[in-house]
Amino acid sequence: MQLLLLPRLMSAIGEARSCAAGLVVLAAALASSARVRTLPLNALLFLAARAGLAVAETANVALTARHSRPAERGPNLAYLQSFQAGCRVITPWIANYLFSLSLGGKYGTPGALPFLGTALLALLTAPVPLLLQRRPTGGQRQARREE
């Protein structure tokens, strides 16, 4: 997917739209998987969520590189990686709390709260790359200053 689909997708619709589309696919798949209990469909939703995440993360790196000044590009990409690593440490604790909270069925399907919470966050984040698309990139800002 990384070698065949993503370059074509990003050249066809751009990094910002690819990132937003990946986040929407991730949100839809997670929200749906919170309700689905049958194995074949649940596995397909898991794969859709992973595909959406792969598209969003790859496009996010491309957007970070594009919108960073050349001198700041390396540190910004390092900050992005560090933030993602930190989230991979913290979010299981949050998901465990939400899962335990939703086990009683008080909030809908038992155990669905972490999926629904993550889907909501992904959906709320989806417009952000589209807003970045309208801003001039780091290279464009530098070219304007040189003129």
Q: Can you give the pLDDT at residue 71? A: 93
Q: Can you give the pLDDT at residue 142? A: 55
In order along the chain (147 residues), what is the average pLDDT of each group of 10 residues?
Answer: 78 92 96 88 94 93 90 94 94 93 79 92 94 65 52
3-class DSSP string for the chain: CCCCHHHHHHHHHCHHHHHHHHHHHHHHHHHHHCCCCCHHHHHHHHHHHHHHHHHHHHHHHHHHHHCCCCCCHHHHHHHHHHHHHHHHHHHHHHHHHHHHHHCCCCCCCCCCHHHHHHHHHHHHHCHHHHHHHHCCCHHHHHHHHHC
Q: Can you give the pLDDT at residue 138? A: 55
Q: Can you give the pLDDT at residue 123? A: 96
pTM of the model: 0.83
Q: Can you give the pLDDT at residue 140? A: 56
